[in-house]
Amino acid sequence: MMKSIKTFLYAESGAVTVDWVVLAAALVGLGLAAMGVVSSRADEFSTRIEPKLEAGHGAASQPDVEAGLRQ
């Protein structure tokens, strides 16, 4: 009985799988965090240029786009 418990405690056959699961979870978390940052900034930027588009100015000019990215 003690031998089988020791064998179980020292076995490393599943350790690589656990490493990959943790790594995959970390990548998913980073992806979600990046998506949150990008989507909030994109929403904010689209809200700022909406009045210009509705006023019939067409697409925002390049200086307007660059100024929006700096803010």
The residue among 21, 69, 20, 68 whose CA lies nearest residue 48 is: 68
Convert 60-71 to b/e letters by CB count within 10 Å (16 or more is b).
beeeeeeeeeee
Provide the domain count of the chain.
Answer: 1
pLDDT at residue 63, rounded to an integer: 60
Domain that holds residue 36: 2-70
Better-scored residue on pLDDT, 67 or 37: 37
Q: What is the pLDDT of residue 10?
A: 80
pLDDT tens sequence across 9-60: 787 777 778 889 999 999 999 999 999 988 888 888 888 888 877 776 655 5
**68 with 45: CB under 8 angstroms?**
yes
Predicted confidence at residue 23, as pLDDT, reads 95
Residue 62: band (very low, low, confident or very high) from pLDDT cuts 50, 70, 90: low
